[in-house]
């Protein structure tokens, strides 16, 4: 018996029907078909040899050279984001998760907490605040996937924890106008898929975290925390009575771990990943800092939104335009046949689509997040080339109609 690969079977279908028309299988592939929402595509022109040449491999991260490189990363982040002069930047372990957890464990407690959740990461922070930190006065503001919490209901006198951009739902806050300028509490913002991609009002944020692996196209395992003077004051004057693991500890007793803002790290960083982050930050500086990366995101999102607005089988999971993410775009299939399926069958359909696209080299890692509804999820961040997105779109049409016609 001759074995036939799925790809060879798919390849025999040169045309499929879309409505009353025959749809040819596209011939042009994206040059870089990496549309994952994290870790994300490397920057255009990225070269591993250049990274290796600049990486301080085999050196102690405590050496003056390594500290200088780590310090340079924080300075370039501050410069490229146009942060206020008195805001401080540090590199922390365990990606954005580690950075945000460090802030929660070190700083929550003296005031009531309002926690916002409209997708899986926000719900994760709610769980930790309520069940791990066991704080007594916690008010949770929830919304379903595709929407955001009612921002008008956030208490002015509380600490506030929220995601700026919901990576697993594609819903973002429209702005920070709902945050009071004279707030007594601190704002904790998980901005991992918003940094270098969306307009952020820094004066409204006290604790902001992100990771290199999103808009920077860096590698996983390293988080970044940005602190306002108000957040630093909290760290210097509030000492929780709970045990805090070393990897989450931003200070001890009356002392802020000030070395974190001068190239010192809590644990051992990967100097290869540090060199990679530097490469990305220098590229960002070259294209105009956050304004340059924001412009690239907007252009990418425009290409994708123009496409789905002309389709009857797919649309944005987020119906309200002003809260639609321009990075982690979640697309919902609204074909009538598909809508009759239960979630299990919907996921099987999406699995068939994404498998087909991967086997053709048209798109990798665009299946929606496992904790969200059955969707396609496409990253439109700044390291993605607009031309590659344009190449992807006819493949999405083709794959959908192929699976609908031949598999379901």
d(CA 204, CA 168): 24
pTM reported for the whole predicted model: 0.94
Please identify, in words, the CATH class of the domain defined by 48-285: alpha beta
Phi, psi angle pair for 268, to nearest 5°: -80, 120
Which helix (H) or strand (E) segment holds residue 358: the answer is helix 343-359
The pLDDT of residue 30 is 98
Tokens of 394: 């006819």
The pLDDT of residue 21 is 52
The pLDDT of residue 23 is 81
Using DSSP, state whether 58 is helix, strand or coil. coil
The DSSP output letter for 338 is H
The pLDDT of residue 22 is 58
The pLDDT of residue 256 is 86
d(CA 330, CA 372): 10
Q: What is the DSSP code string of 367-400?
A: BPPTTS-S-EEEE--TTS-HHHHHHHHHHHHHHH
| Tens digits of residue pLDDT in 259-285 | 999 999 999 999 999 999 999 999 999
- Contact predicate 76/285, CB 8 Å: yes
Residues of the chain whose pLDDT is less than 70?
Answer: 1-22, 254
The pLDDT of residue 101 is 98
Would 6-42+289-406 and 48-285 be classified into the same CATH topology? no
Q: 6-42+289-406: which CATH number, 3.40.920.10, 3.90.1150.10, 3.40.50.1000, 3.90.700.10?
A: 3.90.1150.10
Tokens of 162: 């929220």
Which helix (H) or strand (E) segment holds residue 79: the answer is helix 64-80
Domain boundaries, the chain: 6-42+289-406, 48-285
Q: What is the DSSP code string of 164-194?
A: SB-TTT-BB-S-STTS-TT-SS-EEEE-TTT
Question: How far, in Å, are 128, 224, 269 from residue 122 at the CA level?
Answer: 10, 18, 27
The pLDDT of residue 56 is 98
The pLDDT of residue 240 is 93
């Amino acid at each position: 018996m001759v074995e036939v690969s799925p790809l060879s079977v798919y390849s025999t279908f040169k045309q499929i029907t879309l409505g009353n028309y025959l749809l040819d299988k596209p011939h042009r592939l994206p040059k870089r078909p990496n549309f994952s929402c994290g870790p994300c595509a490397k920057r255009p022109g990225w070269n591993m040899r250049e990274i290796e040449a600049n990486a301080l491999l085999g050196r102690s991260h405590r050496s003056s050279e390594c500290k200088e490189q780590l310090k340079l990363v924080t300075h370039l982040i501050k410069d490229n984001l146009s942060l206020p002069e008195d805001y401080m930047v540090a590199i922390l372990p365990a990606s954005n998760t580690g950075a945000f957890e460090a802030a929660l464990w070190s700083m929550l407690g003296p005031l009531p907490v309002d926690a916002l959740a409209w997708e899986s990461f926000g719900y994760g922070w709610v769980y930790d605040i309520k069940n791990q930190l066991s704080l007594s006065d916690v008010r949770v503001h929830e919304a379903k996937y595709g929407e955001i919490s009612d921002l008008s209901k956030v208490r002015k006198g509380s600490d506030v924890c929220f995601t700026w951009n919901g990576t697993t739902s594609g819903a973002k806050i429209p702005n920070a106008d709902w945050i009071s300028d004279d707030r007594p509490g601190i704002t904790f913002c998980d901005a991992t898929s918003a940094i270098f991609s969306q307009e952020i009002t820094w004066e409204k944020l006290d604790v902001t975290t992100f990771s290199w692996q999103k808009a920077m196209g860096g590698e996983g395992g390293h988080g970044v925390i940005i602190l306002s003077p108000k957040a630093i004051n909290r760290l210097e004057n509030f000492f929780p009575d709970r045990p805090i693991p070393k990897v989450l500890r931003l200070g001890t007793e009356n002392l802020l771990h000030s070395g974190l803002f001068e190239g010192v790290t809590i644990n051992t960083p990967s100097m290869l990943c540090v060199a990679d982050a530097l490469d990305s930050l220098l590229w960002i500086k070259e294209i105009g800092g956050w304004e340059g990366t924001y412009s690239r995101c907007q252009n990418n999102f425009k290409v994708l939104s123009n496409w789905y607005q002309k389709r009857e089988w797919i649309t944005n999971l987020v119906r309200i335009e002003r809260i639609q993410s321009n990075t982690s775009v979640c697309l919902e299939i609204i074909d009538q046949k598909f809508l009759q399926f239960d979630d299990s069958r919907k996921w099987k359909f999406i699995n068939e689509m994404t498998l087909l696209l991967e086997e053709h080299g048209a798109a990798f890692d665009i299946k929606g997040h496992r904790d969200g509804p059955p969707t396609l999820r496409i990253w439109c961040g700044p390291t993605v080339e607009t031309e590659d997105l344009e190449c992807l779109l006819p493949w999405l049409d083709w794959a959908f109609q192929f699976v609908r016609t031949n598999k379901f």
